[in-house]
Structure 1
Amino acid sequence: MAAALLRSSSRLVIAALLCILLSSAVGVLRGATALGINYGQVGNNLPSPPQVVQLLSSLRIGKVRIYDVNPQVMSAFANTGIELVVTVPDDLVPSMAASSGQALQWVTASVRPYFPATRVTGIAVGNEVFTGDDAQLKASLVPAMRNLHAALAQLGMDPYVRVSTANSLAVLASSYPPSQGVFTQDAAGYMAQLLRFLAETNAPFWINAYPYFAYKDDPTRVSLDYALSNPAHVGAVDPYTRLQYTSMLYAQVDAVTFAAARLGYGNVPVHVSETGWPSKGDPNESGATLENARAYNRNLLLRQFAGEGTPLRPKLRLEVYLFALFNENMKPGPASERNYGLYQPDGSMVYNVGLVQQATSAASLSLATSPASRTDVRKDFGGLCLFTSFTFLLITQAFRL
């Protein structure tokens, strides 16, 4: 009897959370693309920022995240219309928390000179702070974000630039099934402060989510098809909500949404600030292959083009920043860390995600320029490089793979 009451109570809680979450997804934007890419620069052989901008423009990728405020990069993005998320490094966070003047000085020196020609739309403060070991940094993060937002308001930039922070999925104590998503005890106190700030400023919750790690850590029990988001895979059904998940990434996002709802912030949108799959790894890194990387990113692109939302918020296309644009040869750690890129530094594709170059038409979906601009990618980053268009036939073939 007690167990039955507990299950009934749990379902009632889930039902209440669903009502809150689904109602917040009404009136969503369908037209604009939600696909972005991370442009890392930890390499000594990468192309120049202007060449990178030409490449991104030819792919018609409209959102980019960088990990600093490099003046050359900031200048290169001027007058391109590409939305740019910039980053405040961890070491500057405590001083910005302690002094509103420091936050204002940083915005004035690092962002304001390039704005609005460079379309900065977001500031990521720190990176995966709440899963680190620095207690002072954790305590400083939200105060620093508040000071940065106040600085933007003082300069009249707050309607255009959102302040947030990228979180590791490790902020969750539980992520499966998604409806049981809950923050860790250590993170929960900080998360309440963070979510309150995000709700007040209409900013998204950013999560770095990598199904690759779940598969690598337990390849005998974790379904590779589920981790790769293969659309033909049956997936898993949440026993409490009865929602069906064919993508681990989308399940992870909904788990974060449920965790936020348990703290009273189910209306804060969850965006994916990083996700990807390495094309190469060390011998002990299960699943780090070119074939899996191509499948993961192809499946993600197909879901993006279809305007797909998560099962919890099906009408809200999930905003995703793919990691990463280039392989970065100076990144520390295992071999996988240096092999997340879609491109080699010389401009050649590491792999083709399944979309072929062909003539564009009004009926096709395109991420690239017209055929007239095609050139050798190794010689001209402004040429047609990866994604031009794909037809219904190509989509059908991809779904059959």
Structure 2
Amino acid sequence: MHAMAISYLNVSLFIAAFLLLSLRPTEAQVGVSYGKIANNLPSPQDVVNLYRSNNIKAMRLYFPDQPTLEALQGTDIKLMLGVANENIRSIASCRCAAYRWVRTNVLPYRSSISYIVVGNEVDPSSEPASSVAPAMRNIQYALDVLNINNENDEVKVSTAINANLITNSYPPSNGQFKDPSYIAPIIDFMNTHDSPLLVNVYPYFAYANDPKDISLDYALFTSPGYVFTDPNNGLRYQNLFDAMVDSVYAALRRAGGHHHLRAAASESGWPSNGGFGATFSNAMTYNRNLINHVKQGTPLTPGQPIETYVFAMFDENEKQGPETERNFGLFHPNQQSKYGYLSF
């Protein structure tokens, strides 16, 4: 058979696998990340009440915070709970450390917790990188020993990566991981435990870094029509978020991920101040469109909602880095919505 014909046959099989995937029921959850690097925020109980009054049914918390965990009890808010990057190596080095962490931070609050996220955007070249997969395994061991999971209600263990770990992402079907040795044991874990790959997906940064080739409409979900067609599979793209997510799926499969595995957007948002394109209007447009769009799926996974966590609940005035990092909030510290009504 001609090489081109073989290539298109492989692409067709790739699409077929994802069409089967789209029939699998998944979470349709749109949550919000609760960043706490600020000195002017409401109490955890008031924050939980704010989630409830705005019908936000999922929260991402980057490290265990006992007042927040207590405030979540008795609510219908599901929690994505983080293991802080600085704790990864100790948890990887000893099952006993993982056991203590789970017994303290998960067991008393089991009814609220849906994910444990071992690290956030760990740099593959950093010291904790080699400890991520072992720490995931040790956390899973502790969940099993403490009999926390059951067949119908599992706490999933994963890690959250930066989308910049994907290279060759244009077109999306060419996506692959930059550091295969880092991601391989993580994908092996996900294959075994049916955990999703969590990815922080930010069209804002892609647009701000390359406004010549990426239009604002394409980044904000406001393009009036399709912007491009992937030449490898014929899928058409109207927004950058979909293209980024589908490049993650392509990379996941190339790295050996099972076809039933899914990706979730563990962060996505747009800053309202502090950098190129970081305006109130753009942030309002992006966040409103994001919340509505992710319920539809991507061209590769049509009809399959993308579980997504909008970043973030509040501006974080003590966060390090560029000014944009302090301006992602959906709400003011006085608990008033920055952008009016958002339909979660």
> With structure 2 as the length reference, what TM-score do the two structures score?
0.94
Larger Rg: 1
Q: Which amino acid aligns with 2:180?
A: A
C-alpha distance in 2 between matches for 1:338 and 1:42: 9
In structure 2, the residue matched to 1:138 is: 129
CA contact (8 A) 1:63 1:84 kept: yes
Aligned mates of 2:32, 2:157 — CA distance in 1: 18
- Aligned residue number for residue 398 of structure 1: none
1:76: Cα distance to partner? 0.7
Write the deviation string for residues 125-153 of structure 1: whole angstroms up to 9, x where unpaired. 01111x3431x411111011001001001
The number of residues matched between the two structures is 340
Task: Tell me which moved more, 248-257 or 155-164.
Answer: 155-164
| Structure 1: runs of 5 or more not aligned | 356-365, 368-401
Percent identical residues:
38
Q: Which residue of 2 is the match for residue 350 of structure 1? A: 338
Deviation at 1:10?
Answer: 3.4
- Find 1:151's aligned residue among 122, 142, 147: 142
What is the distance in 1 between the residues matched to 2:29 and 2:243? 18
Say yes or no: does 1:161 pair with 2:142: no
State the distance in 1 between where 2:327 and 2:2 align: 50
Q: What residue number does 2:253 align with?
A: 261
Among candidates 210, 214, 219, match of residue 218 of structure 1: 210
Q: Give 2:307's aligned amino acid.
A: E
Shift of 1:5: 5.6
Residues 59 and 13 of structure 1: is their aligned pair in 2 closer, same or farther, counting only changes over 3 Å? Answer: same
Report what 1:383 is aligned to.
none
1-structure distance, mates of 2:212, 2:223:
21
Alignment partner, residue 247 of structure 1: 239
> Aligned AA for 1:45?
N
**Residues in 1 aligned to 2:44 and 2:3: alpha-carbon distance in whole angstroms:** 57
Q: The residue matched to 2:62 in structure 1 has which SS?
A: coil
Question: Which position in structure 2 is the counterpart of 1:60?
Answer: 55
Alpha-carbon RMSD across the aligned residues, in angstroms, is: 1.8
Provide the residue aligned with 1:46 in structure 2. Answer: 41
1:6, CA displacement in angstroms?
Answer: 5.4
Q: Is the 8 A contact 2:28 2:306 kept in 1?
A: no
Is 1:294 the equivalent of 2:284? yes
Evaluate the alpha carbon distance shift between residue 133 and residue 191 of structure 1 in structure 2; reply closer, same or farther with a 3 A threshold.
closer
1:207 aligned to 2:202? no
Gaps of 5+ in 2: none
Matched, 1:188 2:180: yes
CA shift, 1:351, in A, is: 2.2
1:260-308: CA deviations, max 9, x gaps? Answer: 1112313210000000000001xxx22100111011111112224xx30
| Higher mean C-alpha deviation, range 262-271 or range 292-301 | 262-271
SS in 2 for 1:115: helix
From 4, 23, 26, the counterpart of 1:26: 23
SS in 1 for 2:132: helix
Distance, in Å, in 1 between the alignment partners of 2:167 and 2:37 is: 31
Tell me the residue number matched to 1:362: none
Conserved? CA contact 2:227–2:238, under 8 Å: yes
Deviation >6 Å, runs of 4+: none
Higher mean alpha-carbon deviation, 17-26 vs 287-296, is at 17-26
Q: In the alignment, is the contact (CA less than 8 A) between 1:17 and 1:258 conserved in 2?
A: no
